[in-house]
Chains A and B, each alone.
Chain A
Amino acid sequence: MAADGARQWWIRPAIRLGAAALLPVAVPAVITGLIWALPGDPASLICPPEICSGTEQLAARWNLDQGPVHFFLSWLSDAASGDFGKSWRIQQGSPVTPLLLTAIPHTAALVGLALSLLLAGALGAATRVLPARADSLLSAVGLIPTVVMSLAAAAAVSINYGASAFDAEAVRVKILLGALALGLADSALAGAARGVRSIFESERQRRYVQMGILRGEGVLSNAWPNAAPAIAGQMRARTLHLLSGAVVVEVVLQIEGLGDLLWSGTLAQDFGVVLAATFGFALLSGSLLLAQAAVEIAVAMHVRRSPPVREVAA
């Protein structure tokens, strides 16, 4: 890697760390602007002005009467003290914090399981444990959209569990099936395997790796430092894709997670719930950013500590 490139390696991880710190505030701010633009307003959904005289009073009670900035700042000050307010419509009157505390673990488990599936696939592809031929099978399974796999699972669960579909037992099953759907469908696993395989195949053709092999070292240990940043970037993109897929899986399989809160909250214009869920979402995205920065820093440190490996670009 060229000399000046080495000095600038810390820029990208620094930006990521800065962003990770800012996200929990910046993302809710952007979302507030967006949901504020939605047609109609929450107060008139409950008390339509034509048939109910209390609309302004309700708007004032919910800080909706002085523009989005005022609303966001009052939300932020409450959130800072851990009070996310109450749900206006999804679970009218219940405090939002417990909703959030049940939602984050469910989504984390769902996305975590799906991600581990992806990582296993990627590792398999990188180390060629997963033969290239398997890619076509994975792609075939990947053809099935997440929503279809989730629907099949949801139908099976509801037919059998019926009313007890929300007990702890059933929720575990749904998260397992949801993670399966999330990981396999929408070509998530296929994409991961193919993406990582293409990076490693191109690295394998590089001379420095071939020299490493001549020296009897493993392909992985040689190619890994170079490929890590690209793989980290790709994995983060795939995880964000999983997070948006999680919305579909949670709504269809009726899992109480962040995605479901976001989706139903936005449709019902339940701003308190949307912002709280967005905050939770920002925490998850932030942790992904930290992980990516950590990988980049680790690679940079590794590169600095073992100079002989460096060589002039082809």
Chain B
Amino acid sequence: MTRAMTLLVGAALTAALSGCTGGDDADAATAPAAVAIVPAALAAGAWQLDVADPAALSALGANPGWTARFAWDLPAAAAAFAGDDAPSSKAALARMHAEMGALYRQAALIQAHSILETYKPEQRRDGDPVEVVYLLGVAHAILGDREAAREHFGQSAGSGVAGLPEADAAWAGLAASDDFALNVLGASGLYGLPAVAPGQTPTPKPAPHFSLPETVGELTVEAADPTVTLQLAMWHRAAAEAADPAVAAAVLSPWLLSLEPPAAPGEVGLEALFLGPWPTAADLAFVATGEASEGALFDAALSACPGERPDLYCVQESAQNLARQLQAAMAEAGGGAHGDHRSLAAQAQLGLLRHASRRAFADGDRELGARLMIGAIDLSAGATGDPIFLLKTAAWDASVRNTLRAQQNLHGQINRLPGLDAARRSLDALAVRVSRDAGPAVPLH
């Protein structure tokens, strides 16, 4: 009985819906065609192809280190890789420490931008503690402005805040030399960390580190000192270099702070690339050196979008096509489509957008760089989620006083590593200042 009715409805539907005025070419029903935007030979060089074969993937998957890394549990991954000293495990261990170092560097940048945007002269409010001058000094040092940093140190000697005079003096000593670098790890007077030991994940002195009295009222600002985060960043750099200097240099190079001694990139293997945004070693190296060597996949992909200022939509389309091309190549190499191919190939899509954004920022095109980066945030979710990238966007948001999204992204990653929650304190201070500046608003729904 229902069959009769549905046949009737079906027939009526087909008969009635005959003509439709005009038609468009986009027939979305067919599967997305894999548009080859890079030569197949180049695509074959991507790490995705090395793990296209499910057996290779499960071999890596069997390693507890990589399973932990897949869930971005870096401390557990580092501890697992430290278990044996095969060269591949050494390389992977260096990779884990380098990525932990990158996370701490983004957290330090979030703190630096937040402190600057909260207490810089034109934003200073009466009532702000006088000791913020020390925090500004550390912020300038992290952001690479030696002059400004030097001016701010040495002014808090007489402060009654416990621990502040010593830290201020230590920084003043460090900043005395003209080309001082951020070698805060061993500096006396600053917070101590256990000796560098690959495989470990040190827990820092918990925030808040200082209680700065306000000059109006009796409340104190519970501040976090970015130096602690900086020390952790340096600690992990040292640990990575102890495990495998070439991998450490290659993986850390995109994230080094401007006042850090540069790293000498070297030859790296699958361990430095697997599950990462850069498909080939050449792409990774390009970020550090700035010129494209022949193996670089991203550079070839971007050639599809010519012109001094690449067109945003062209880049986004190329990124999607690159992911589809890699997915098709993996299916071919791995003997048929496999569940993981899609998310592994999507890493390259996110990687290309990040690469284009970095190049736009490097060319001084802030707007395009920001637009590409923000457009990629939604891709960085689930299996392709990358905490380093999310904290990087939070640092950018803090620098433009956009605290709403910065806090959401930071909050999502705060439990990844010990000591990341210190960044929340500086960002919260900025968020309160920004939201109290905005006009009244009424909750809705």
The answer to whether B1 touches A140 (Cβ under 8 A) is yes
Interchain CB contact (< 8 A) of A180 among B6, B12, B21: B12
The answer to whether B9 touches A177, judged by C-beta atoms less than 8 angstroms apart, is yes
List CB contacts (< 8 Å) of A156-173 with chain B. Answer: 156, 160, 164, 169, 172-173
Contact flags A133-152 to B (C-beta < 8 A → 1, else 0): 00001001101100001001
Distance to closest chain A CB from B253 (angstroms): 48
Cβ-neighbour of B9 out of A143, A153, A169, A172 (below 8 A): A153
Does any Cβ of A come within 8 Å of B33's Cβ?
no
Instruction: Given the known inter-chain contacts A169-B20, A169-B21, please indicate yes or no for A156 contacting B13, CB distance below 8 A.
Output: yes
How far does the Cβ of A174 sit from chain B's closest Cβ, in whole Å?
10
B444 CB-CB contact with A under 8 Å: no
A47 neighbours in B (Cβ, 8 Å): none
B: interface residue count bin: 10 to 19
For the complex, what is the distance from the CA of A164 to the CA of B22, rounded to whole Å? Answer: 13
Looking across the interface, which residue of chain B has its beta carbon closest to that of A161? B17
Number of A-B contacts (CB under 8 A): 36
Interface membership of chain B positions 1-24, coded 1 if the CB is closer than 8 angstroms to chain A and 0 otherwise? 110111011001100110111000
Which secondary structure characterizes the binding site on chain B? helix
A170 to chain B, nearest CB (A): 9
- The distance in angstroms between the C-alpha atoms of A46 and B21, with both chains bound, is 41
Please give me the residue from chain A that is nearest to B442 by CB atom: A51
The yes or no answer to A76 lying at the interface (CB within 8 A) is no
Give the contacting residue for A141; candidates B4, B12, B13; CB below 8 A: B4
Contacting pair B16 A173 (CB below 8 A): yes
A159 to B: closest C-beta gap in Å: 11
Q: CA–CA, A137 to B8, complex, Å?
A: 14
- List residues of chain B with CB within 8 A of the CB of A140: 1
**How far, in whole Å, are A153 and B1 apart by their CA atoms in the complex?**
17
In the assembled complex, A176 has its CB within 8 A of some CB on chain B: yes
A257 to chain B, nearest CB (A): 19
Query: Using Cβ atoms and an 8 Å threshold, which residues of chain B touch A137?
Result: 1, 4
Partner of A177, one of B6, B12, B21: B12
The CA of A140 and the CA of B8, in the complex, are separated in Å by: 14
Taking a contact as CB atoms under 8 Å apart, the answer to whether B5 and A176 are in contact is no
CA separation between A171 and B246, bound complex, in Å?
Answer: 68
State how many angstroms separate the Cβ of B360 from the closest Cβ of chain A: 35
| Chain A residue with the shortest CB-CB distance to B10 | A156
Query: Complex formed: what's the CA distance from A153 to B5 in Å?
Result: 12
Which residues in A have their C-beta under 8 angstroms from that of B19? 169
Residue of B with least CB distance to A144: B5
Q: Is A180 within 8 A of B9, CB to CB?
A: yes
User: Complex: how many Å from CA A190 to CA B275?
Assistant: 65
Contact between B17 and A160 (Cβ–Cβ < 8 Å)? yes
- The answer to whether A176 and B12 touch (CB under 8 A), given A141-B4, A160-B17, A169-B21, is yes
Closest CB-CB distance, A106 to chain B, in whole Å? 16
The contact string, 1 if C-beta is below 8 Å from chain A, for chain B 282-324, is 0000000000000000000000000000000000000000000
**Which of B6, B8, B13 has the most A CB atoms < 10 Å from its CB?**
B13
Q: Which residues of A contact B12 (CB under 8 A)?
A: 176-177, 180
Q: Kindly report which residue of chain B lies nearest to residue A156, judged by CB atoms.
A: B13
Q: How far is the CA of A152 from the CA of B8 in the complex (A)?
A: 12
Q: Are A141 and B5 in contact (CB under 8 A)?
A: yes
Interface set, chain A 40-64, CB cutoff 8 A to B:
none
B9 with A141: CB separation less than 8 A: no
Interchain CA distance A177-B12 in the complex, whole Å: 8
A152 to B5 CA separation, bound complex (whole angstroms)? 11
A156 CB contact (under 8 Å) in B2, B4, B5, B9: B9
Contact B1 A152 (CB under 8 A): no
Q: Identify 12 new A-B residue pairs, CB closer than 8 A, beyond the known A144-B5, A173-B13, A180-B8.
A: A152-B6, A160-B13, A160-B17, A173-B16, A173-B17, A177-B9, A177-B12, A177-B13, A177-B16, A180-B9, A180-B12, A184-B5
18 contacts between A and B (CB under 8 A): A137-B1, A141-B1, A141-B5, A144-B5, A149-B5, A152-B6, A152-B9, A153-B9, A156-B9, A160-B13, A164-B20, A172-B16, A173-B13, A173-B16, A177-B9, A177-B13, A177-B16, A184-B5
Q: Which 5 A-B pairs have the closest CB atoms?
A: A140-B1, A173-B16, A176-B16, A156-B13, A141-B5
